[in-house]
Structure 1
């Protein structure tokens, strides 16, 4: 069993809570009961990390080995259920929370993949999968086209964050500043892309 750094653990748990909030907020908007809100929160919070851990051989997955993951996901569902009016006062709350979780999970996923000995390209892919997995499951469960497949830049924001982590590792830069910069870059690209209406390129003539 390979232990991850306290920084990656903190980013992973923070990402779990934030993504759980997005799942819970969407569930409240869809008028699900408290059970539905909690289930959607937990699935959204843990799906990406669960897939990542299974693919790199980190078994049992962290979300099943460390109670803090399930507790963070459960708390996020309860917070969304009881405090959704306050959350909805944010401008586009789901998008903002989703962008924050996206950056954190991309960094944590890529960093954990490197810790388990993966080379840069697979580590980047695992970072993107960690960041996008929970959101994809959330959107599918509420019968929406996943954001990662829409026009808005989504996976590219996670890709940017993961690439910054790899660049920092290759250059031997301090991990903490690199991780913070990478998470912030992913968050800002996602938010700015929505506000400015940027989108990924389409096939010519489509």
Structure 2
């Protein structure tokens, strides 16, 4: 199930990034590059930093095929997909929760400190979006007021708190914390929770 959620998140990131690039009037190659960078950017940076090479998408070409599929869906159904941004937001949120836990798990498998594991989880979930926004000449969303990376950090803290204090099945723990991150982001957007700019403090 974790693998399939990863697939959903990867394709959702590819679709949403493709729509963003098309709105910037890029050519098909530019759209694909941004879709690809968004989908694997965070995981690639994480794997390079911990010395896990070749990086994940090079070890599993299915990831590349899923990105191509997401890109193709966005191009073919772009007019209809523009009307389904709520669904894309939901998939993006699912990806945020799942990729945070994937990054944390990779850090644990490498034997790193929990603080570094949380950083890797946050990087995995968010850095692809940073690359997308920079390539599209926008200020990355995680540096603006929307609560995004903060939720990954909170999710990581919750993960290690439960892991260190309760005897719980690992798969169930991953699902539980992913769900917490997803729900928190939905609530943050619903009730407009955000971090105020620094000049307001």
User: TM-score of the superposition, structure 2-length normalised?
Assistant: 0.88
What does 1:27-38 align with in structure 2 at a 5 Å threshold?
A: 27-38=21-32
8 Å CA contact 1:38, 1:78 repeated in 2: no
8 Å CA contact 2:6, 2:95 repeated in 1: no
1:98 is matched with 92
- The CA distance in 2 between the partners of 1:43 and 1:91, in whole Å, is 20
1:58 alignment partner, one of 45, 48, 52: 52
Residue 180 in structure 1 maps to residue 175 in structure 2: yes
Gaps of 5+ in 1: 1-5
- The CA distance in 1 between the partners of 2:95 and 2:136, in whole Å, is 19
2:13 alignment partner, one of 12, 19, 44: 19
1:194 alignment partner, one of 189, 195, 200: 189
**More moved, 32-41 vs 43-52:** 32-41
Cα distance, 1:144–1:202 mapped onto 2, change above 3 Å = closer
- The CA distance in 2 between the partners of 1:56 and 1:185, in whole Å, is 27
- The CA distance in 1 between the partners of 2:108 and 2:4, in whole Å, is 17
Cα distance, 1:13–1:163 mapped onto 2, change above 3 Å = farther
Gaps of 5+ in 2: none
1:74 is matched with 68
Coordinate RMSD, CA, aligned: 2.1
- The CA distance in 2 between the partners of 1:79 and 1:151, in whole Å, is 30
CA shift, 1:169, in A, is 2.8
CA shift, 1:74, in A, is 1.6
Residue 110 in structure 1 maps to residue 104 in structure 2: yes
User: TM-score of the superposition, structure 1-length normalised?
Assistant: 0.86
CA shift, 1:34, in A, is 2.2
Cα deviation per residue 1:48-103 (whole Å; 9 max; x = unaligned)? Answer: 00011111221111111211121122211111111223322235455433322211
- The CA distance in 2 between the partners of 1:139 and 1:37, in whole Å, is 13
- The CA distance in 1 between the partners of 2:200 and 2:69, in whole Å, is 47
